[in-house]
């Protein structure tokens, strides 16, 4: 806001010089005097008494001239602007916004100046915790300011305001033309994703997320993309995103690896899950325990790799010595035509007390 004050003061000086309505000399001198006093106040250390005097005098002059001729009304608008400048320096954003609203209402103010004050008032309403009013003002300004150099900046502010108010559909509407221009910053990418997701446009959000990923993207960006793919029911895309992040070294923990394996299982690439499991066990990243072996057996079974699946089920049964694991190993071997393995596994299941295995053995 301190930067905004400087813009307001400079704007007032230039407007005085270029005013369509000639101002009396005493008014010009008074406006310049007030502007000089305001400019002399150091940022962060301004004298509140001086600011109060400037604001009070400017308001008084604005009121006195409000009902006069066109030149008086133009001067009244400039005094309102000066009062707004002083009030901003005091941190009273709402009061400053009210002054600009009054300035905009003076009939002799040119449209170009009205638009500048409209945009400044929107910023002040936002700073003054008046989001509803700020949104309405930004929408009004944007509707009238196509092609303005500040258009995109103001549109992004409006999108963020609408998002903060959870008006997702409206935010998505204003966001759409901005996305067509591309070149989004990381902050804008994050805002875009949040808006599109909450507006129910998951496919569009996923497209922007995945399209923006590269070797320099942070791990959180990769996680967010994979999570959104899962929410959108695109498990295969989620697995692909996580796989790429793993290959780039974005994810390194054992839990990250397990997530990758589960994503491959859910995304229709079980063979890749099996390869990751075998590598993790061989490297010692995963203990060769029941959980890992059961996951491995399931992966190769889902991939329909007969040899690897049967070897994994046998290793699991040998590890657990559970009757049901021997039975499932035997049943799978039988379905795949591996009768010798099936019979051996089912006999072990029977010896461990599995009644169902007895019925299966009657097939031999």
Tens of pLDDT along 6-59?
344 434 444 454 455 678 888 889 998 988 888 887 766 668 888 889 999 999
Q: Quick count: other Cβ atoms within 10 Å of Cβ 136?
A: 13
Residue 46 pLDDT: 64
Report phi then psi at 198, rounded to 5: -75, -20
Residue 21 pLDDT: 66
Residue 98 pLDDT: 95
Q: Quick count: other Cβ atoms within 10 Å of Cβ 298?
A: 19
Report phi then psi at 196, rounded to 5: -65, -40
Residues of the chain with pLDDT under 70: 1-21, 43-46
Candidates 155, 204, 149; CA nearest to 177 is 155
Task: Measure Cα distances from 69 to 32, 76, 106, 250 in Å.
Answer: 21, 10, 11, 68
Report phi then psi at 157, rounded to 5: -65, -40
Residue 44 pLDDT: 64
Q: What is the pTM of this model?
A: 0.65
Average pLDDT over the chain reads 88
Residue 206 pLDDT: 82
DSSP 106: -
Instruction: Decide if 92 contacts 45 (C-beta within 8 A).
Output: no
Residue 45 pLDDT: 64
Residue 194 pLDDT: 87
Q: What is the Cα–Cα distance from 13 to 277, expressed in whole angstroms?
A: 71
Q: What is the Cα–Cα distance from 209 to 220, expressed in whole angstroms?
A: 11
Instruction: Decide if 313 contacts 324 (C-beta within 8 A).
Output: no
Q: What is the Cα–Cα distance from 180 to 200, expressed in whole angstroms?
A: 19
């Amino acid at each position: 806001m301190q930067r905004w004050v400087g813009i307001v003061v400079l704007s007032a000086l230039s407007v005085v010089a270029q005013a369509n309505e000639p101002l009396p000399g005493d008014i010009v001198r008074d406006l310049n005097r007030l502007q000089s006093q305001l400019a002399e106040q150091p940022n962060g250390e301004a004298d509140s008494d001086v600011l109060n005097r400037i604001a009070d005098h400017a308001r008084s002059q604005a009121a006195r001239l409000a009902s006069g001729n066109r030149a008086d009304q133009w001067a009244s608008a400039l005094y309102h602007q000066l009062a707004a400048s002083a009030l901003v320096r005091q941190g009273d954003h709402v009061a400053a916004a009210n002054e600009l609203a009054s300035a905009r209402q003076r009939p002799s103010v040119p449209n170009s100046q009205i638009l500048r004050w409209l945009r400044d008032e929107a910023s002040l309403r936002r700073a003054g915790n008046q989001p509803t009013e700020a949104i309405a003002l930004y929408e009004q300004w944007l509707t009238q300011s196509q092609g303005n150099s500040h258009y995109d900046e103001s549109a992004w502010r409006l999108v963020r305001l609408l998002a903060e108010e959870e008006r997702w559909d409206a935010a998505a509407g204003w966001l759409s033309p901005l996305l067509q221009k591309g070149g989004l910053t990381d902050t804008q990418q994050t805002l875009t994703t949040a808006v599109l997701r909450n507006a129910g446009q998951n496919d569009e959000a996923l497209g922007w997320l995945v399209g923006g990923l590269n070797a320099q993207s942070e791990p959180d960006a990769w996680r967010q993309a994979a999570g959104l793919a899962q929410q959108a029911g695109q498990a295969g895309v989620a697995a692909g995103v996580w796989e790429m992040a793993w290959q780039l070294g974005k994810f390194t923990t054992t839990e990250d690896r397990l997530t990758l394996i589960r994503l491959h299982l859910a995304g229709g690439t079980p063979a890749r899950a099996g390869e990751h499991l075998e590598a993790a066990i061989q490297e010692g990243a995963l203990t060769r325990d029941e959980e890992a072996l059961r996951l491995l057996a399931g992966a190769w079974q889902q991939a329909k790799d007969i040899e690897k699946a049967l070897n994994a089920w046998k290793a699991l049964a040998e590890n657990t010595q559970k009757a049901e694991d021997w039975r499932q190993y035997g049943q799978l071997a039988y379905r795949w035509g591996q009768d010798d393995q099936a019979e051996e596994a089912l006999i072990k299941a029977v010896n461990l007390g599995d009644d169902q295995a007895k019925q299966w053995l009657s097939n031999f």
